[in-house]
Amino acid sequence: MKFDTIIIGGGLSGLVCGLRLQRAGRKCAIVSAGQSAMHFSSGYFDFLDRTPDGKDVSAPLDAVDLLDKEHPYSKIGKARLTAYAEEVKEFFKGCGIMLEGDPCRNGFRITPTGNFKRTWLALDDFSVFETDTCPWNKVLIVNIEGFLDFNTAFIAQSLESKGTVCTTSILRLEEMERIRKNPSEMRAVNIARVLERREVEDKAVGLMKDMAGDADAILLPAVFGLKEAGARTRIEKALGKKVSFVATMPPSVAGIRTQMKLKAGFEAAGGVFLQGDTACGAEMDGSHVTGIGSVNFGDIRLEADSYVLATGSFFSKGLTAAPGHIVENVFGLDTDAPSERKKWYCTDFFGRQDYISYGVKTDSSFRCIKGGGTIDNLYAAGSILGGCNALYEGCGAGTAIFSAFSVADTILSENA
């Protein structure tokens, strides 16, 4: 089966890359083994929260100069990154995803434990805060009765320690009783399915009206809007108060909605999404990839002019760690992990874990390297890239989106 570009990996990076190429008229296929890390999304995209040496970052674009030359952002370069940052909201808007926040400046988000952490842009229904302190004096924190993946007491404790007056309350909805019968499935997505019925949402809003009192704002678990966002605005309007959604334990309602919209956008543009299939059996002719196979396709080959590796890191099985080395699983590419295992990790659990930064080596255009030589038509995007520590630096989504933009643009310019 022939395509212009084949992308391995259907997460944020693979979908963004595929969408950009497909919109520009290239015929793309995405091979996706299992669902992606978007299902664990916090509801926010981070660009660069701190530098590799630990300095907090307010303006990510200004901090790019401080990064090592192997960092994906250094390879893209400040000029292009600036243009990409300015374009990002429009890009996502194209498939109905409205991002909130200033694309050139970091803001803050409320974490599920009630702390304020740096972030960049918010997915629909989440809000970006200007400072790391709670903007409200009195806050009501509401949970759904029986929902264990959202802890109001944690949030209240953290906010109160910084002077915000908090009350907590529980929404009792008889419509939830059915799913409460099964506590192990009383999860964000299933709650969202019940709340998606407008009469249930209206009922919840009615109950909140009674409990809101003189609170300035209401914090709610992010259990609204599995298919369509907009619940926050509706609730704010009905209550006449500020509302902020706070991430729950996975599955992430907002992350899944975003993933579904990206996938729908990709397919609507004509892209082919092969769900639940695993790429394997890559074939090379010298430094050129000639085709890949897939577990489901068997002997039917998938062929394209160019290939994008967006498999993700360890969690998504892009990388596997063996006792003495770290391998890339589809092509056996060169990785930047040192052979000395002790260097991979830090014994302080909360310290910087270097293994998270490991990934494939690439040239300045994200072309992959195997056995020391550059492969001319295989690019890498997203967390499979080495050179940055998404967890420590807070640069996971930015790396995924911008490296995908960059790779797509390289492919387009080469085939112009």
**Of 34, 206, 332, 351, which one interacts with other proteins (CB under 8 A)?**
34
Asked if residues 242 and 218 have their Cβ atoms less than 8 Å apart, the reply is yes
Q: Which is nearer to other proteins, 38 or 121 (CB)?
A: 38
Asked if residues 47 and 23 have their Cβ atoms less than 8 Å apart, the reply is no
Q: Which is nearer to other proteins, 58 or 182 (CB)?
A: 182
Q: Kindly state the helix (H) or strand (E) to which residue 66 belongs, with its residue range.
A: none
For 368, other C-beta atoms within 10 Å of its C-beta total 25
Q: How far is the CB of 293 from other proteins (least distance, A)?
A: 12
Give the pairing type, strands 116-119 and 107-110: antiparallel
**Of 178, 209, 288, 325, which one interacts with other proteins (CB under 8 A)?**
178
Asked if residues 378 and 411 have their Cβ atoms less than 8 Å apart, the reply is no
Give the pairing type, strands 279-285 and 288-294: antiparallel
Structure tokens at 408: 């797509």
Q: How far is the CB of 11 from other proteins (least distance, A)?
A: 9
C-alpha span between 373 and 32 (Å, rounded): 27
Q: Which is nearer to other proteins, 83 or 295 (CB)?
A: 295
Tell me if residue 216 falls in helix, strand or coil.
coil
C-alpha span between 50 and 328 (Å, rounded): 27
Phi first, then psi: give them for residue 266, nearest 5 degrees: -65, -45
Q: How far is the CB of 298 from other proteins (least distance, A)?
A: 6
Q: Which is nearer to other proteins, 244 or 278 (CB)?
A: 278
In order, the DSSP letters of 89-144 are HHHHHTTT---BS-TTS-EEEE-TTS-EEEESEE-TT---BSSSS-S-SEEEEEEE
Q: How far is the CB of 300 from other proteins (least distance, A)?
A: 6
C-alpha span between 146 and 6 (Å, rounded): 44
Q: Which residues ranging from 277 to 336 are in contact with other proteins (CB under 8 A)?
A: 277-278, 294-300, 315-317, 322-323
Q: Which is nearer to other proteins, 169 or 329 (CB)?
A: 329
Structure tokens at 283: 């074939």
Tell me: does residue 35 bind other proteins (CB under 8 A).
yes
Tell me: does residue 50 bind other proteins (CB under 8 A).
no
**Of 4, 24, 27, 40, which one interacts with other proteins (CB under 8 A)?**
40
Size of the site for other proteins (CB under 8 A): 41
Q: How far is the CB of 56 from other proteins (least distance, A)?
A: 30
- Part in contact with other proteins (CB under 8 A); list of ranges 129-137, 163-171, 267-275, 332-340: 267-275
Phi first, then psi: give them for residue 384, nearest 5 degrees: -75, -15
Q: Which residues ranging from 182 to 211 are in contact with other proteins (CB under 8 A)?
A: 182, 184-185, 187, 189-190, 193
**How many H-runs (helices) and E-runs (strands) does the chain carry?**
12, 18
Question: Binding string, 229-258, against other proteins, x = CB under 8 A?
Answer: ---------------------xx----x--
Q: Which is nearer to other proteins, 124 or 277 (CB)?
A: 277
* Binding residues for other proteins (CB under 8 A): 1, 33-37, 39-40, 178-182, 184-185, 187, 189-190, 193, 250-251, 256, 267, 272, 274-278, 294-300, 315-317, 322-323
